[in-house]
């Protein structure tokens, strides 16, 4: 956990070799889209010559380059590792690039499970060159189980949950916070993953925590957020029915005891990310609403209060139709807050959680 003022402002080159624009590069995309620090280049030789605006629109004029040398010409102060692979190891092919970046005098910023600052070769090179190795997934010193704290008076805690992992739960929480602040509310975003921490400057990567302290640390994060504002938007992780990540998801639900949950889904996604072709289908939205309310209710009653869709692969008319369908299926407010803004969802949430 790091507090906002301790995050220095950097100029990033984002390393996303072979993956930019794919789901594996969600850290790169999140930092570019929502982070406060400028990104001067993306390093992906397989997409060199292209520009980030092709993926994210005209607001993002960032070249994709083939080599570290080209990236360095643009004056970055740090190399940010822009992928979040399953298992979180440092891709072996990237070691040479990371070492060259250290030798060129730029910091390394990582959200991987395998900490760059614990790597003897990187650490020695960084010490020689006087650059910093930053591991945003390193867990906080906090080590305690949940205490069953009750939310402070007047606070509203909203958790994003999803029909799958890597489906946009962080983006939805960030868009809701943006809409809340725009509406004059004291909105707070609680980062629970490395990308969110890179963007927000504080939080904890909950998938890195000791399991026994997972529920308790989430409770502690929400307590701090309540000291900072009134409408608390907690970034969800994984999905409650994902074979690999369900425990992390449950720790967030039972640790944050949300007043309301926003269910995130991508129309057209039918299987769990990374588990395609195994014959399991994603459950329907109404089924997910029912499951989440039942499981949250084991500790504290909670309701799914809105549906957030990721429609970026659909035409606008198809997207609108999918949104209408989700609303009809569930009887809940539905929208794509990244594409169309989060005002309507926020309004729906405020009605449901007065």
Residue 176 makes contact with a second copy by CB under 8 A: no
Decide: helix, strand or coil at residue 255: helix
Stretch that binds a second copy, among 3-11, 14-22, 48-56, 248-256 (CB under 8 A): 248-256
Among 185, 244, 352, 353, binds a second copy (CB under 8 A): 244
Residue 291 makes contact with a second copy by CB under 8 A: yes
Among 246, 320, 343, 347, binds a second copy (CB under 8 A): 246
Q: How far apart are CA 89 and CA 112, in angstroms?
A: 6
How many positions of this chain bind a second copy (CB under 8 A)? 40
How many Cβ atoms sit within 10 Å of the Cβ of residue 130?
8
Q: Is the Cβ of residue 59 or residue 281 nearer to a second copy in the bound state?
A: 281
Interaction residues for a second copy, span 298-317 (CB under 8 A): 298-300
Residue 236's nearest CA partner among 269, 268, 266, 258 is: 258
Residue 214 makes contact with a second copy by CB under 8 A: yes
Residue 1 makes contact with a second copy by CB under 8 A: no
Residue 144 makes contact with a second copy by CB under 8 A: yes
How many Cβ atoms sit within 10 Å of the Cβ of residue 317?
8
Minimal distance, residue 67 CB to a second copy, in Å? 31
Interaction residues for a second copy, span 42-101 (CB under 8 A): 86-88
Residue 313's nearest CA partner among 338, 289, 330 is: 338
Q: Is the Cβ of residue 244 or residue 321 nearer to a second copy in the bound state?
A: 244
Alpha helices in 242-284 (DSSP H): 246-256
Stretch that binds a second copy, among 61-69, 206-214, 326-334, 339-347 (CB under 8 A): 206-214
The DSSP symbol for 209 reads: S
How many Cβ atoms sit within 10 Å of the Cβ of residue 205?
25
Among 40, 125, 179, 248, binds a second copy (CB under 8 A): 248
Contact 304, 261 (CB under 8 A): yes
Sign of torsion over alpha carbons 295, 346, 323, 190: negative
Write out the two tokens for 216. Answer: 């308790």
Q: How far apart are CA 170 and CA 191, in angstroms?
A: 8
Residue 23 makes contact with a second copy by CB under 8 A: no
Residues interacting with a second copy, by CB under 8 A?
Answer: 86-88, 113, 143-146, 148, 206-212, 214-216, 240-241, 243-248, 250-251, 254-255, 257, 275, 278, 291, 294-295, 298-300
């Amino acid at each position: 956990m790091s507090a906002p003022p301790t995050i220095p402002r950097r100029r990033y080159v984002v390393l996303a070799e072979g993956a930019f624009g794919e789901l594996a590069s969600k850290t790169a995309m999140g930092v570019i889209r929502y982070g406060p620090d400028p990104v001067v280049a993306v390093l992906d030789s397989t997409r060199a010559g292209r520009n980030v605006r092709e993926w994210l629109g005209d607001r993002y004029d960032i070249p994709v380059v083939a080599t570290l040398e080209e990236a360095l010409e643009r004056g970055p102060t740090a190399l940010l590792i822009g992928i979040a692979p399953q298992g979180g190891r440092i891709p072996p092919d990237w070691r040479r690039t990371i070492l060259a970046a250290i030798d060129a005098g730029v910091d390394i910023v990582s959200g991987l499970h395998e900490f760059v600052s614990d790597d003897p070769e990187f650490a020695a090179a960084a010490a020689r060159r006087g650059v910093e190795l930053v591991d945003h997934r390193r867990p906080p010193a906090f080590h305690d189980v949940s205490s069953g704290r009750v939310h402070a008076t007047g606070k509203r805690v909203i958790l994003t949950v999803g029909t799958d992992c890597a489906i946009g739960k962080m983006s939805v929480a960030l868009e809701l916070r943006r809409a809340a602040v725009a509406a004059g509310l004291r909105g707070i975003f609680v980062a629970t993953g490395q990308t969110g921490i890179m963007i927000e400057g504080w939080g904890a990567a909950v998938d890195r925590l000791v399991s026994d302290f997972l529920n308790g640390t989430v409770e502690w994060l929400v307590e701090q957020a309540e000291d900072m504002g009134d409408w608390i938007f907690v970034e969800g992780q994984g999905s409650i029915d994902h074979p690999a990540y369900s425990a992390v998801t449950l720790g967030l639900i039972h640790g944050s005891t949300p007043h309301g949950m926003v269910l995130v889904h991508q129309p057209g996604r039918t299987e769990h990310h990374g588990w395609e072709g195994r014959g399991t289908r994603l459950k329907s939205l109404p089924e997910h609403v029912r499951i989440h309310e039942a499981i949250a209710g084991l500790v504290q009653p909670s309701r799914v209060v809105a549906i957030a869709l990721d429609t970026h692969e659909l035409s606008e008319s198809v997207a609108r139709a999918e949104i209408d369908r989700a609303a009809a299926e569930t009887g809940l407010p539905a929208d794509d807050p990244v594409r169309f803004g989060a005002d309507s969802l926020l309004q729906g949430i405020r009605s449901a959680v007065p």
